[in-house]
Chain A
Amino acid sequence: MPFHAHDPAPPLALPWLRPMPADFRDRLRALARGTEHVGAGTLADLANHGLDLDALLALDRTVMRICDRIVPTEGLRHTETLRLAVLAEGSLDYTCPAIRATGLRRGLNVQTWMPAYGQATAQLMDPDSDLRHFAPEAALLAPTGESLGLTRATVDADLAASGVAAALAATRAQAYALQAMGTGIVIVQTLAQSQLSWAGHLDAALPGSPRGQIAAYNASLVRLASDMALVVLDAAALAARTGETAWSDVTLWQRTKVPMALGAIPLYADHVVRLLAATRGRSAKCLVLDLDNTCWGGVIGDDGLNGIRIGKGSADGEAFLAIQQFALALKARGIVLAVCSKNEEAAARSPFESHPDMALRLGDITVFVANWADKASNIVSIARTLNIGIDALAFLDDNPAERERVRQSCPDVMVPEVGADPALYPALLAQSGYFETLAVTADDTFRAEQYRANAMRAAQVAEIGHYDDYLASLGMTCQIRPFDAIGRTRIAQLIGKSNQFNLTTRRYSEADVAAMEADPSVFALQVRLADRFGDNGMISVVIFCKGAQDWVCDTWLMSCRVLKRRVEEAVLNAVAAVAHAEGATRLTGVYVPSAKNAMVALHFATLGFAPLEAEESDPEGTTRWTLDLAGHVTADLPMVVDATDALPPKESR
């Protein structure tokens, strides 16, 4: 008697993850029964498989049981806590545990909160509600078409339009209430399309059909999200890709009020988690590519330029060309490309230099590593060269042994599980969600160029002797401006992603940044740096809270790409000048240690601040610093500083 496999239908599977191991349940039981400490890495590894709903629930139960025994794992990025309020229609008894267990996959300890059935609106409106006490950092708004009144068909197009407007207004009110209570990240979902066609194919032309109403709501929701700086989870696209009948289960809804098919919940949870991970700066910034049988068919060392398969001449060649084109597409939105190949360097470079059918050229690859050393150590050095965390790398390699090696040595690197068929690689990379982003800005398109220009600058230092001469030779221009609407998205992006040169690691959303633009008690600056090799775009964000005597630094962050350029001093000059002109006598600096910002522990000391006592309410390890503005001397800097809008008018200086 053949039994059907328990694997979910292919569209609902998570194919970029390794299949669930056969001993998964046994491993969970062993963890639950044990008494010793459990490393966070052990849980992350368990979560990093294609788990079905039952497995996710079992993992969540086990984690709950052993939570007191969980400790950080050395060498692995620390798991961070995230409080998520799930305000969705229907029964969330599976969704919330699935999100929690899935969060472990991306290093998030998600604490979920859900309202009692039907109580979402009351919780939002009541100033003393449990939701307020939970103090969510993120919220997920997931109504259904039915709950928004968008599923009643009508021939009256105006009636349909006002129904859509009312639905949007309800969503706006909920999002606004969440932001007003301090929820930094509000995720809104597009609606999966109605499975009931009212007028057949004519639905597409009838705004009063349920499909028409839902399509109109989804389109206006995306615009609303842009206006209010909300995050969109495009559930409509997911449902369409997986098949609306696989995504929704009407019978299940009627019987249990579970809002989606049980088989779809793991995929949905992964999409929620990847967005949350993006808000915490955990998306990949760099794609590291293997070469043989990943960027071309065959082995360049054996097959030579004429033997490798790339380009339109063969099915194989087409598949590898598509992989290269996908990599280029990622580069166009700011993902940096690197190569890590086991080859003689000259052989590895030759297709990039001479093969006419290659889409990728050497100029597209920011760091090119081809040698016979272990790939794990090469990947560590790629991260170091780019000056980004090892956890910001994703690694694509057709060889399962190499993938396993990198997973074991560098567990923070994102390694999609790819099969033997290269035709599927671009889709697997796209589905993985490792490169999820909250915004694409003009600066992103030049990111790879900026990293290359950095490499050229590094070469320059070697030639020019004295460091200040070298800085002067760069012809730098530093532009310092207050926060404004144009810079808002990039400012929020930097605030969300900067981990190393970040004094306090406070995360603010775009909505928070917008509020700061108009706040007279806040002095906030955005800093751009260009030099003769190129424009680095916006590279630093600084926020001070203005006091009568004392301006206190809330945020000081900078991109590591522009270390050692004396930008920090230019920024200090600007802050000091304005503070002094407005009557302040002191600046206070604050350093809050994190797992990643040890490099700036002495930042204020370097700028001439004196140490102060930390305050009782400060997090452990915080240091405070003070600068007397009367004694501050404006440093002479090897750059042109344009701070006209940030500095007071000349008369008052």
Chain B
Amino acid sequence: MDRNEILKVITEVFEDIMDADPADVGPETTGDDIPEWDSLSHVRLMVAIENRFDVRFSNAEIEALTKVGDIADLLVTKTAG
């Protein structure tokens, strides 16, 4: 799956979990940009992304994420091969 397709799916998950506006979700988006993206919704977001892409993240991988683009990069690696 390429990075753009992945970003599209991630945006859909943001819409489901946080009722976020797709226009607000891009590679540089962080928690500061979306008011509903707090520690609680972040937990549900990561679980939903795991379910949606059928992957599992380790805690170390999750703790290294700082913006949406990082999530997409991680998924590119996880869904390759």
Contact = CB atoms under 8 A, between A and B. Distances in A.
B1 interface: yes
A251 B19 CA distance: 26
B5 to A, nearest CB: 7
B52 interface: yes
Given A54-B16, A251-B59, A1 B47 contact: no
Contact of A4 (B43, B44, B47, B52): B52
Contact of B44 (A1, A3, A255, A262): A262
A251 B59 CA distance: 7
A185 interface: no
Contact of B58 (A4, A251, A256): A251
A6 B51 contact: yes
A53 B43 contact: no
B32 interface: no
B15 to A, nearest CB: 9
B59 A262 contact: no
A386 interface: no
Contacts of B47: 252, 262-263
A256 B9 CA distance: 24
A93 B44 contact: no
Given A252-B43, A252-B47, A262-B43, A3 B1 contact: no
Interface string B28-68: 00000000000010011001100111101011001100000
Given A93-B40, A252-B43, A3 B9 contact: yes
A255 B51 CA distance: 17
Interface residue tally on B, bucketed by range = 20 to 34
Nearest to A3: B52
A6 B43 CA distance: 16
Interface in A467-502: none
Contacts of B58: 251
A167 to B, nearest CB: 28
Contacts of A314: none
The interface centre, meaning the residue of B19, B43, B44 with most chain A CB atoms within 10 A of its CB, is B43
A1 B9 CA distance: 11
B47 to A, nearest CB: 5
B17 interface: yes
Given A4-B54, A256-B43, A258-B43, A54 B62 contact: no
A432 to B, nearest CB: 26
Contacts of A54: 16-17, 44, 48
Of B9, B51, B54, B56, most A-chain CB atoms within 10 Å: B51
Nearest to A58: B19
B55 to A, nearest CB: 11
Contact of A53 (B1, B44, B53, B54): B44
B59 A255 contact: yes
Interface in A240-287: 251-252, 254-256, 258, 262-263
Contacts of A58: 19
Contacts of B43: 252, 255-256, 258, 262
A529 to B, nearest CB: 55
B1 A1 contact: yes
B12 to A, nearest CB: 9
Nearest to A249: B47
A20 B43 CA distance: 22
Nearest to B56: A251
A538 to B, nearest CB: 49
Nearest to A4: B54
B5 A1 contact: yes
Nearest to B62: A255
Nearest to B18: A54
A54 B62 CA distance: 20
Interface in A1-58: 1, 3-4, 6, 25, 53-54, 57-58
Nearest to A261: B47
B56 to A, nearest CB: 8
A3 B52 CA distance: 7
Contacts of A1: 1, 5
Contacts of B62: 255
Interface string A219-255: 0000000000000000000000000000000011011
Contacts of B51: 4, 6, 263
Contacts of B1: 1
B57 to A, nearest CB: 8
Contacts of B54: 4
Nearest to B41: A57
A95 to B, nearest CB: 12
Interface of A: 1, 3-4, 6, 25, 53-54, 57-58, 93-94, 251-252, 254-256, 258, 262-263
13 contacts: A1-B5, A3-B52, A4-B53, A6-B16, A54-B16, A54-B44, A93-B40, A94-B40, A94-B44, A251-B59, A252-B47, A255-B59, A255-B63
Given A3-B52, A252-B47, A258-B43, 14 more contacts: A4-B52, A4-B54, A6-B16, A6-B48, A6-B51, A54-B16, A57-B44, A94-B40, A251-B56, A251-B58, A256-B43, A262-B44, A262-B47, A263-B47
Interface of B: 1, 5, 9, 16-17, 19, 40, 43-44, 47-48, 51-54, 56, 58-59, 62-63
Nearest 9 A-B pairs (CB), nearest first? A255-B59, A262-B47, A256-B43, A93-B40, A4-B54, A54-B17, A254-B59, A251-B59, A54-B16
